[in-house]
Amino acid sequence: MPTDTTSVLLVEDNPGDARLVIEMLKETGANDFRLTHVTTVREAVARLADPGIDTDVVLLDLSLPDESGLDTLRRVVQAAGRAGIVVMTGARDEELGVSAMQAGAQDYLVKGQVDGRSLRRALRFAIERHIMRLQLESLSLKDDLTGLSNRRGFLVLAEQMAKLARRNRSGFLLLFLDLDRLKQINDTFGHAEGNRALVEAANVLRSCFRQSDIIARLGGDEFAAMTLSAAEGSERAVKARLDAALGVVNSSPDRAYALSFSIGVHTCPPDGTPVETLLERADKLMYEQKKRSKT
């Protein structure tokens, strides 16, 4: 939470209610809140979408000229990013306030039942709650050991990328990778060394893909990657980058074992097939490649 000035975006079309909020935030005479006032959802969304403007918390009336009710909140939640949201309701709309919290707001206030102290407290707590929620969501989508996305995170992000590919009518590549001989590394050198091998494998993948690509550890020795670069020859190019990166790692003179992957690469058309199904196909291709390498 900001240590100096908290930036508040007030979305309120009633001049009297807006003036009251401004006065309540100035009650103590402190300058720890900086308030910007807009009167429509459209203005609020535009301001929240501007990367040059920081907003810590949104104070949102749910009855506005261009939107009302929970539809108002949903539009602002989508644009809010790291900003917390406190909604304001009328005295007869407390149930709406509760529904708003279930839909993504951090708190609600009833007009006419708020003073400066309770308003300031609600705004600060909303910021803290939202930051905590973002941190928990991030942890739930990340693999603790490697820092890559976990299986859940991969499926969430990959579905978003697949939708983008469909809109652009472009294919994409989905890779399923298995780190070879992890059990042997664990049995010979111990599980701590096996964990180091997994971290090394994750770093190899990071070096071979762009930031816009999606990389994940699905669990155990299994990894996945997704890239929109599905032009002719890109599968061969990806494998060449992986081979080169593994060659650098394995060229260390004091290495006790070589790092390698078995890889299945599935070229996916933008036809709406669920990512989970595509991942299963890439997994099957990986096992076929692993079998061929053993013969």
Q: Which residues are catalytic?
A: 221
Q: Residues with Cβ < 8 Å from 242, sequence gap 6 or more?
A: 204, 205, 208, 261, 263
Q: What is the 3-state secondary structure of the chain?
A: CCCCCEEEEEECCCHHHHHHHHHHHCCCCCCCEEEEEECCHHHHHHHHHCCCCCCCEEEEECEECCEECHHHHHHHHHHHCCCEEEEEECCCCHHHHHHHHHCCCCEEEECCCCCHHHHHHHHHHHHHHHHHHHHHHHHHCECCCCCCECHHHHHHHHHHHHHHHHHHCCCEEEEEEEECCHHHHHHHHCHHHHHHHHHHHHHHHHHHCCCCCEEEEEECCEEEEEECCCCCCHHHHHHHHHHHHHHHHHCCCCCCCCCCEEEEEEEECCCCCCHHHHHHHHHHHHHHHHHHHHC
